[in-house]
Structure 1
Amino acid sequence: MECVFGLVGNGFTLIVADTLAVHSILVHKSNEDKIMILDSHKLLGASGESGDRVQFTEYIQKNVALYQFRNGIPLTTAAAANFTRGELATALRKSPYFVNILLAGYDKETGPSLYYIDYIATLHKIEKGAFGYGSYFSLSMMDRHYHSGMSVKEAIDLVDKCIMEIRSRLVVAPPNFVIKIVDKDGAREYAWRESIKDTIAPNTA
């Protein structure tokens, strides 16, 4: 019942993910962070098989860091997305990774951006996207309420609408979600949404 979704706003991009680590009918963790901070201005939200997700995202993170170490400059978001897509495409013909990715970043020249990369190495630059069972509802909510140039407050309100819809519609809904944001000030955790609360908590970031 995984769910990872994201959107591009006015000067920022955010990614939201559930925090469940499950296998079959068992819940192993309820605080799994599925949004990796690739570098100072990039986020990578992933869904899929737990082992593939952890191994592949760590592999991408280390190679992005290696490129910056060797060349003295970081990869742009577009370059990181294309590198990620290339690695998935190479693995697809050998031992594929069953992992779907939303890659968000902020570049001084181009501003915020969001890339959709699925397990068969499809790459698209998008303004909003989602993976997992929760995508049926989060995509519907974003189709209805999303508009370009959203403020942070508008985007968080939309995120809350998506989370409430997922919780009310899925038979087994993820209890907790983490929100991370990247803008000119860098990539960072923004807030948590926990089901144990009666109402969605205000942002504490």
Structure 2
Amino acid sequence: MECIFGLVGDGFALVVTDTSQVQSIVVQKTNEDKIMILDSHKLLGVTGESGDRVQFSEYIQKNILLYQYRNGIPLSTSAAANFTRGELATALRKNPYEVNMMIAGWDKDQGPSLYYLDYISTLHKVEKGGMGYGAYFLLSLMDRYYEKNMSLEKALELVDMCIEEVRSRLVVSPPNFIIKIVDKDGARELAWRRTVEDKQGPPSAAAPIASPMAEDVSV
């Protein structure tokens, strides 16, 4: 029941994903960051099988950075998207990755851009888009309320509408979402939308549990 979506606004691009780590019917954690910062001005949002997601996204990140170190210039967002598409297509014929991606970036000559890339290597440049079961609900909202060159405030209002729709309509809805932005100032985390907090270990004041085999030493 994963969900990923993104949009392009006036001088920026946003990528949003749920943060649930799921195995079968078990939610293992609700604070998994599924949006990787590829370099100073690129984001890669990935959903899919957890092993494929982590392995493929790290492989793409390291190779994009390697290109920059070797050549002294970073890849453009379009070049990074096409490189990622090529690697996914190559793997598709050998050992396919079960991943869906949204790639966002900002280039000095092009401004912000957003790319849709699915598990069978279909690549499209889009202004708005979504994947996963949540996309069945949020795409209609984006068609209705998205505006070209919308402000960040309006974009966040639309993001919140989409998150609320997914939470209220999806039969098994993810509770938490992370929002990241890329613009002329770089790629960075912008906000979280939480309804559940992961517990970090047992409470410090928890009472000890008596063993049923403990010896009764009362007098």
Distance 1:74 1:176, change over 3 A: same
TM-score, normalised to structure 2, is 0.89
Distance 1:34 1:186 in 2: 18
Q: What 5-or-longer segments of structure 2 have no aligned partner?
A: 198-219
Q: Pairwise mapping of residues 9-158 of structure 1 onto structure 2 (< 5 A)? A: 9-158=9-158
Partners in 1 of 2:123 and 2:76 — Cα distance? Answer: 15
After TM superposition, the structure 1 = structure 2 runs for residues 187-202 of structure 1, keeping only pairs within 5 Å, are 187-196=187-196
Inter-partner Cα distance in structure 2 for 1:72 and 1:140: 42
1:97 maps to amino acid: Y
Identity %: 73
How many equivalent pairs are there? 197
Which structure has the larger Rg over C-alpha atoms? 2
**What CA distance in whole angstroms lies between the structure 1 residues aligned with 2:126 and 2:38?**
19
- Structure 1, unmatched stretches of 5+, are 198-205
Deviations 1:85-114 (A, max 9, x none): 000000010000010110000000000000
Structure 2 CA distance for aligned equivalents of residues 112 and 174 of structure 1:
28
1:97 counterpart SS class: coil
Give me the whole-angstrom Cα distance separating, in 2, the residues matched to 1:36 and 1:141.
Answer: 26
Aligned pair 1:179/2:179, yes or no?
yes
Which residue type is aligned with residue 44 of structure 1?
Answer: L
**Deviation above 2 Å: which 4+ runs of structure 1?**
none
- Taking the aligned partners of 2:196 and 2:52, their CA distance within structure 1 comes to 30
TM-score with structure 1 setting the length: 0.95
Aligned-CA RMSD value: 0.9
**Greater displacement, 175-184 / 130-139:** 130-139
Q: Which amino acid aligns with 2:3?
A: C
